[in-house]
Every structure is written in structure tokens, then in C-alpha cells.
Structure 1
Amino acid sequence: MADINPIHLQKALKGASYPATKDSLVATAKDNGADDEVMTFLNDLPDREFGGPNGVTKEISSDS
């Protein structure tokens, strides 16, 4: 997961309403036309609620 570009991730999550579940983040990214790398990252997230964009971004380094 560590290879994900945080800028691409945040662009994919533009407009997300927080707190957000993994499923809602995946749906937002899909609606925003996220690339396969971002979609794979989001699909691999733990099933929990994220309080904001920083919580999602922290997952990039937590799995490395």
C-alpha cells in the first residue's frame, strides 16, 4: 500500500463526507474516476469509520 500517491488519493476522495465508512470512500472515489491503484488501496482499507482525510492518508504508512 505504501506506493499510493497521497495527492491522487485526496483527489479521488474530493467531496467525501466525514466521518466516512470504507464503503462510502470507495463509492466516492469511483464516482470521481479514481485510478486502479487508488481503488485497490481503498478496497484494502480496514472496515471502520474514518474521521477525516488525514485518517485515510495515515493508512498509507501504517501498512508499509
Structure 2
Amino acid sequence: MADLSPIDLQKALKGADYPASRDDLVSVAKSNGADDTLVEKLTQSGSKRFDGPNEVQKAVFGNE
């Protein structure tokens, strides 16, 4: 499988309302058909709450 990209993350979280809990975002990603790897990265992200998509991206991708 190819590496995940920020675009993959944006597609997975389409329709998410912020602020959002990590669990809410995992549910949105699953319902949008997100790749299992992306769902796992979201699940393992350090934050329990996100104020916006930029925070999610930083948590999932770090300083890549």
C-alpha cells in the first residue's frame, strides 16, 4: 500500500464537525471508507480532542 497523504486524511474526514473527539473522527473516517492504516493512525494519535483539520494532520503525520 502507498504511503498515506494529507489528501487521504481530508477525504477520510469529509463532513467532520470540529471541535471533535478522536473517537468521533475515527467513526467519520470509517464511515467514509478510510484505509485501515489511516484509521489506526487516528486511533493512536496523541490528542483526544481536535479543534480543526490542521491539528488532526499534525497528530497523524507529525513532522513528516
| TM-score w.r.t. length of structure 1 | 0.84
Query: Please, which runs of 5 or more residues in structure 1 have no aligned partner?
Result: none
1:61 matched residue in structure 2: 62
Q: Alpha-carbon deviations, 1:14-60, whole Å to 9, x = none?
A: 00000000000000000000011211111111242100000000111
| TM-score w.r.t. length of structure 2 | 0.84
Query: Please, which runs of 5 or more residues in structure 2 have no aligned partner?
Result: none
- Summarize the alignment of residues 1-64 of structure 1 with structure 2, pairs less than 5 Å apart: 3-59=3-59, 60-61=61-62
Counterparts of 2:36 and 2:48, CA distance in 1: 21
Percent identical residues: 51
Give the counterpart letter for 2:9 in structure 1: L
Please say if residues 22 and 46 of structure 1, whose CA atoms lie closer than 8 Å, have aligned partners that are also in contact: no
